[in-house]
Amino acid sequence: MSDRDRTAPTAGIGLTKYTKFSGCGAKLGPGVLEKALCGLAQPAYPEMLADFTNCEDAGLYDLGDGRALVQTVDFFPPIVDDPFLFGRIAAANALSDVYAMGGRPISALALVCFPVKALGLETLRAAMDGGLEALIEAGCALLGGHSIDDPEPKLGYAVTGLVDPAKAWRNGALEPGAVLILTKPLGTGLVNMACRAGLASEESRRASEASMARLNKRACELLGRRRVLACTDVTGFGLAGHAAEMAAGPACGLRLSFGALRFLPGAAEYAAMGLVPEGTGRNKEGRMHAVRLASTSIGPVELDLLFDPQTSGGLLAAVDSGDAEAALADLKAEGMDAAIVGEACGPSGVVEIAD
């Protein structure tokens, strides 16, 4: 991540005061999306390997030459006040869906909603600079985009990547006994709420910003050295919500160990204080039916942590048990706060939460 001078004129502009929601917490809830997409059908194009029907992180379209397009789009309102950092996080988050499929991003189009009169062109330029920095780091060319004058700022990208269709990671392709590795700590939604309330510590804010700004590129590359059976990235539906999508595959469900999870500094404290994003409730409403509690110690605060909407979260990868420890060592050697957080087991459609 860049060490850009935070004393730049736009650094303290206060973007989040222009928004109701922040980052991936602005997403429609999973239950609402299911109802909206229910019954929506299209022809079974022979080249279409994955579309919107199975909660995959991105679409897959076979080019017929040993390559498939990985296509995704993601945009949201600011989760930080600094425009440059907002832009970088928005790009990192959009790129993440390609990495979650085991792919390599190659091109992007910007999606911009912006109140020009209220915030000025200098602020927009700073946000675009931040996004471009992340895209350059990813080796992903910015080809153009589209913009709208909007009272609430939003920024994101439609990203196209490439992957060998035979090696693409799918979120529901679990096998019993696979080990779950999470590559980033949780809690960005809670830290953001604490920041909005003026209660977040400097340590919490900085740790959250650094985590969101970090690309999942290197995590994808390192995991790609091992046998990854299934993968997703943890974003707006929270860890439990995205785990439920993985568990929906036919082979088996998941078991998460709450005690093994890593959280950003202060996140658990903010959850106990009730500084919970509205998106947490939407996530519970849409995915709690898939969750089974295996311990009486998992209460409301723990569930708020599990369903906390993440922005630019980590990869949740189901790795062959024989490769898991080596994969974790690779990630930790690169400075990632990764952890083994559970395993693939139990009945399909169920995410069991243990101590």
The tens digit of pLDDT for each residue in 156-172 reads: 999 999 999 999 999 98
List, for residues 17-64, the tens digit of each pLDDT value. Answer: 877 766 666 767 777 777 777 777 888 899 999 988 878 889 999 999
The pLDDT assigned to 6 comes to 47
Is residue 293 over pLDDT 80? Answer: yes
The pLDDT assigned to 335 comes to 95
Tokens standing for 266?
Answer: 């202060």
Cα of 33 vs its chain's centroid, Å: 17
Is residue 5 over pLDDT 90? Answer: no
List, for residues 295-328, the tens digit of each pLDDT value. Answer: 899 999 999 999 999 999 999 999 999 999 999 9
Please state, in angstroms and rounded to a whole number, the distance separating the CA atoms of residues 154 and 145: 13
Cβ contacts of 161 within 8 Å, gap of 6 or more: 58, 69, 70, 71, 98, 101, 103, 104, 105, 106, 140
Judge residue 338's burial from the number of C-beta atoms within 10 Å of its C-beta, 0-12 exposed, 13-18 middle, 19 or more buried: buried
Residue 12 binned pLDDT confidence (cut-offs 50, 70, 90): low
pLDDT above 70 coverage of the chain, percent: 94
- Give the count of alpha carbons within 13 A of 247, CB side only: 29
SS3 62: strand
Please state, in angstroms and rounded to a whole number, the distance separating the CA atoms of residues 317 and 188: 20
Tell me the catalytic residues.
24
Please state, in angstroms and rounded to a whole number, the distance separating the CA atoms of residues 256 and 241: 12
pLDDT above 90 coverage of the chain, percent: 85
List, for residues 203-233, the tens digit of each pLDDT value. Answer: 999 999 999 999 999 999 999 999 999 999 9
Cβ contacts of 46 within 8 Å, gap of 6 or more: 62
The pLDDT assigned to 294 comes to 94
Whether 142 and 108 have beta carbons less than 8 Å apart is answered as yes
Note the pTM of the prediction, 2 decimals.
0.93
List, for residues 121-130, the tens digit of each pLDDT value. Answer: 999 999 999 9
Structural domains of the chain, ranges and CATH numbers in brackets = 15-163 (3.30.1330.10), 179-354 (3.90.650.10)
Is residue 265 over pLDDT 70? Answer: yes
For residue 296, the tally of other CB atoms under 10 A from its CB is: 7
The pLDDT assigned to 39 comes to 75
Whether 145 and 110 have beta carbons less than 8 Å apart is answered as yes
